[in-house]
Structure 1
Amino acid sequence: MSHLLSFALCLTGFTALAFATNRQQRDIFGRLLRPSTTYVHRMVSACALVFALGILVARQGWSLGLVMFSGHTSLAAGIVFCALIGRARTFGRKLL
């Protein structure tokens, strides 16, 4: 259960991090979000990733927990990256 929870937190963290970038805001929302909203996305991202790390380290110890965290973050980042590519290809990206 800790794997599923930590993976979901990593996925949430990388999704929020993607929404915090100017390029993705323009591509997804069609405009830049307010700086306070971007800051909230960055904080949610950091908190989700740190919490996922804490769960894995608490359950598995530092050695195996860090290795599992590396795997979870790699998989979550890959999924978010592929989803962003798929969205850009499906809806077309506007060049500014």
Structure 2
Amino acid sequence: MSHLLTFVLCLVGFTGLALAMDRQQHDLIGRSLPGSATLALRIAGTCALLLALGVLVAWRGWGLGLVMFSGHTSLTAGIVHCTLIGCMRGYARSPKPR
């Protein structure tokens, strides 16, 4: 259960951090979000990652918890990265409105 929880928290964290970047906002939404929304996404993403770290450290201790956190963050960062690439390729292939 802790693996699933930390996986979801890391996925939410990296998604929030990715959506807080101007380039992804322009690519996915077509405009920049207000500064308050960007700040909220950054804070939510950071808090989700810190919470995932806390869950793993509480469950397995600092030694193994940090190693597991490294694995979870590597996997979820790769998933978010590949998803963004796939979205951009899909948008590039779709017909542009005139």
- TM-score range (shorter-chain normalised) is over 0.9
Deviations 1:25-83 (A, max 9, x none): 00000000000000000000010000000000000000000000000000000000000
TM-score (norm 1): 0.95
Q: 2:10 maps to which residue?
A: 10
Distance 2:38 2:55 in 1: 26
Deviations 1:3-45 (A, max 9, x none): 0000100000000001000000000000000000000000000
TM-score (norm 2): 0.93
Amino acid at match of 2:86: G
SS at match of 2:47: helix
Distance 2:74 2:49 in 1: 12
Distance 1:52 1:39 in 2: 20
Q: 1:73 maps to which residue?
A: 73
Amino acid at match of 2:76: A
Which 4+ residue blocks in structure 1 deviate beyond 4 angstroms? Answer: none
Q: How many Å apart are 1:92 and its aligned residue? A: 1.4
Q: 1:85 maps to which residue?
A: 85
SS at match of 1:73: helix
Q: 2:55 maps to which residue?
A: 55
Unaligned runs of 5+ in 1: none
Pairs aligned (count): 93
Q: 2:96 maps to which residue?
A: none
Structure number with bigger Rg: 2
Distance 1:92 1:21 in 2: 20
Q: Alignment RMSD, CA only?
A: 0.9
